[in-house]
Amino acid sequence: MFYTAYYKAPHLFSRWHKVKNVKGDFTADKNGPYLPYRVLVLADETRLEVPYSYIIRFLPDRFASIHAKMEAEAGQKIPVKQ
């Protein structure tokens, strides 16, 4: 299951960039004096590294994707509180 993410620089006049077919994401911490960054893993296994200072917006289908992966890993239905 894939989802869509949007990101933009924290500047006033920056625009949103749309990234489709995101398979997963995680936060990576570089060693040394560098800032951490968010990695978006796409369907074709490419990685998009977004600086941690950027604003990232996920659509609700990200929750459905994570929930489906958790259920597959657990091997049972996981209830969701409304």
pLDDT of residue 30 exceeding 80: no
Flag whether the pTM goes above 0.85: no
- How far is 64 from 38, CA to CA, in rounded Å? 20
As to burial, measured by CB atoms within 10 angstroms (0-12 exposed, 13-18 middle, 19+ buried), residue 9 is middle
Q: Give the N- to C-terminal CA distance of the chain in Å, as an integer.
A: 22
CB of 67 within 8 A of CB of 80?
Answer: yes
* pLDDT tier, 28 (very low <50, low <70, confident <90, very high otherwise): confident
pLDDT digits (tens, 9 = 90+) for 32-76: 667 788 999 999 999 999 988 899 999 989 998 889 989 999 999
